[in-house]
Structure 1
Amino acid sequence: VLIMTGGTGLIMWMAELVTDKGIGQGMSILIFMSICSGFLPQLWEIGYGTNGTDGDWLKFGIVVGVLVVILIFVDFVELCQRRVPVQYTRRMIGRKMYGGSSTYLPLKINMSGVIPPIFASSILAIPTLIAQFGKSDQSWVKWINANLANTTSVWYIALYALMIVFFCFFYTSITFNPDETADNMKQYGGFIPGIRAGNATSRYLTYVMNRLNTVGAVYLLFVALIPTVLIMALGLNAKLPFGGTTILIIAGVGLDTLRQAKAQTEQFQYTGFLLENVESGTKSLPPTVGGGHE
């Protein structure tokens, strides 16, 4: 217990250092590296074999091809947005005029992220844990081991899919409040073209979010159940080194890290970009811009 507690504290401290000094969220980076460290050896075992068993290079090629396609598909969907246009009216505050601009409200297709598969798999693991306290010859223990402990059973797949859909809508309803968003837009003089401010905007955002959640739930079901389909089709048993949650974590952490790296690059090149425009005569800046030199 002491070693586990101390190791957990050390890892959390290292994650905070990565977040402060590096690019990306520290804990996500550590989880990403932990997955990748055991990912390639397990994937290689499918083709090469292990413990005296022969591998199958055809299955290895199929798994690698499906993995690449799923990663490309996940990256594409995670970057997709439903941009709701927002118009702000002009307001006179004191002697200055504010507003009059057009922007948009970005809504992701998968706003719940990797939470639904994690919650669903965690809840389905509870009956298996309880069954360990019973006798192996009891009927309820046999049923749980045959249906809920087996990830390829019909009961497990059905309950897993239903829980993913439920948590997709439930988690999004917690993180995104249409009423609060509509009130904030109304307070700052914003409105959606063709939609009245207030309750009408809230109903419209709810309608849009329900449609996005439906597409997001289907997307999560596809990604989460692909490993199960491969296990059943190729007869890999439990050798498949990746699951739906693993793919979402790899793609999500990779995209977030690349996005932050790009932002840091643009930030460091921003001053040079302005100075080049000044030298070429395309933009004039105050004397204090560019490091304070006059």
Structure 2
Amino acid sequence: MFETLKNAWKIPDLRKKIIFTLMMMLVYRLGAVIPVPGIDRSVIDSMFSGGTGGLLDFFDLMSGGAFKDFTIFALNIYPYITSSIILQLLSIAIPKLEEIFKREDGKKKMAQWTRYITVVLALIQATAYSVGFFNSAIIDQSFLSIMTVIIVLTAGTAFLMWLGELITEKGVGNGISLIIFTGIISRYPVDVGTVVYKLGAGSVNIIEVLLFLVFAFVIVVGVIAIQQGERKVPVQYAKRVVGRKMYGGQSTHIPMKVLMAGVMPVIFSSTLLAIPQTLAFFFPGMAEGVQKYFSVAGSPGVYIYTILNILLIIFFTYFYTAVQFNPFEYSNTLKENGGFIPGIRPGRSTAEYLNKVLNRITIAGAIALAVIATIPTLIFSFTNLQINFGGTSLLIVVGVALETMKQIEAQMLMRHYKGFLK
């Protein structure tokens, strides 16, 4: 990884992209400490220390502390992720919508609709915070003051959405994921300091810390293993004569990733499981019930949350893989170019074979991803080690880091080929 970054830094164009990405991440962190006007901080602090912390911890962790401090980026980028999920699910349920998104300008139109839905969802969520759960923290209860808080929170999410798209377009790519990544790792120094303090005070056992380090190592190794794992399906191209020259005849393979979806299923699952907690902000009386039944801090909530998390991760792994890889389209492309899988007939048989292989490796990747995301959550819920950067957050951090490095490597490869062809 460090060698790749070192080589990328030597390429002027890539160096500019890396510097631009780092500057945008710095802008995000600066915005994450700008407070929303008209808020009583002492009331917010009492909410987090008054027993509802388990309900709010996820939001605070993913926003890099912006939620707990109730800053302009308190909503973070999650309305955008939710709107992406909604549109992708609707495109499958509504054939007409799928047809629109498959047109030449389909991606552009989908991005535009995602932005609109994001603003609407952010407006709803900001209203839930201002009128519901955090209403007592607003100093001036006038309509204008509440509207100011709602508009500031909505604008913060819209700005983050623009920032993420800017990183994707002008930076190293993967903008939205990098914002989540930055938010999570920004909390690591604070959390490490807290663990060290508790260890010194004797409130945390050294065995529990070692247990966490072991599982952190297992998570990192596990994510790298399933992210890098692939099934190589052999492909042979038939020989054909064009004029006096003979083309084709070479052997290659289709690299089918064990986990084509990356860490997106974990992000999607976490976002959807946060919906009951978001609804609790509309109705503060629901907070206790939601924490008990739909939060890892509650009992039997930890078991319900875990089961739902596993099912959603498996579902979104299949869903995201189906969006990325279509066996029938791939088989048609192979057939048109004179390619075939040895022992398999071109056309429908090839598509069925690819679909069979895809299903087998996807279920293995989905189960592995669900296990890696879930086991640490269960272990931490039965120990006194209150570490926020558990299974889900570590999984996201490692996954996003791997995906970003792959994008940098791909851009380096493209530039080296360009230089060679010159």
Tell me the C-alpha RMSD between the 2 structures. 3.3
Indicate the residue corresponding to 1:64 in structure 2: 213
Contact 1:19 1:25 in 2 (8 A): yes
Amino acid at match of 2:295: A
* 2:295 corresponds to 1:146: no
Residue 233 of structure 1 corresponds to which residue in structure 2?
382
Q: C-alpha displacement at 1:45, in angstroms?
A: 1.2
Kept in 2, the 8 Å contact 1:48–1:55? The answer is: no
Whether the 8 Å CA contact 2:215–2:376 is kept in 1: the answer is no
Q: Which moved more, 1:127-136 or 1:106-115?
A: 127-136
Is contact 2:234-2:253 (8 Å) kept?
A: yes
Quick one: structure 1 residues 127 and 30, their matched pair in 2 at CA, closer, same or farther if it must change by over 3 Å? closer
Sequence identity percentage: 39
Q: CA deviation at 1:7?
A: 4.6
* Contact in 1 for aligned 2:266/2:396 (Cα 8 Å): no
Hey, what does 2:226 align to over in structure 1?
Answer: 77
The offset of 1:253, in angstroms, is: 2.6
The alignment's TM-score, normalised by the length of structure 1, stands at 0.76
Corresponding residue for residue 281 of structure 1: none
* The structure with more helix, counted as a fraction of residues: 2
Q: 2:263 aligned to 94, 110, 114, which one?
A: 114
CA contact (8 A) 1:117 1:244 kept: no
- The answer to whether the 8 Å contact 1:44/1:60 transfers is no
**Cα separation, 1, equivalents of 2:293 and 2:154:** 35
Change (3 A) 1:109 1:92: same
Give 5+ residue unaligned stretches, structure 2: 1-149
Structure 1 residues 244 and 93, CA, compared in 2 at 3 Å: closer, same or farther?
farther
Correspondence list, 1:12-161, <5 A: 15=164, 18-19=167-168, 23-49=172-198, 54-133=203-282, 136=285, 144-150=290-296, 153-161=302-310
- For the Cα contact (< 8 Å) 2:232–2:254, is it kept in 1? yes
Cα distance change, pair 37–89 in 1 and its aligned pair in 2 (3 A) = same
> Structure 1 residue aligned with 2:401, among 254, 258, 276?
254
Is contact 2:230-2:257 (8 Å) kept? yes
Q: Deviations over 1:172-201 (max 9, x none)?
A: 223221111111111111110111111111
Q: How many positions carry a matched residue from both structures? A: 269
Larger radius of gyration: 1
TM-score (norm 2): 0.55
Taking the aligned partners of 2:160 and 2:277, their CA distance within structure 1 comes to 29
Going from structure 1 to structure 2, the CA distance change for 1:234 and 1:54 (only over 3 Å counts) comes to: closer
Q: Matched residue of 2:274: which SS?
A: helix
CA deviations on 1:59-101 (whole Å, 9 max, x unpaired) are: 2232123212311221122111111111111223455432211
Pick closer, same or farther for the CA change 1:215–1:48 going to 2, 3 Å.
Answer: same
Greater CA deviation, 170-179 or 254-263? 254-263
User: Helix, strand or coil for the counterpart of 2:231?
Assistant: strand
Q: CA deviation at 1:240?
A: 2.1
Once the two structures are TM-superposed, the CA of residue 9 in structure 1 deviates from its matched residue by 5.6
What is aligned with 1:169? 318
**Unmatched 5+ residue regions in structure 1?**
275-288
Shift of 1:261: 4.5
Q: Which amino acid aligns with 1:256?
A: E
- Aligned partners of 2:180 and 2:296: how far apart in 1? 26
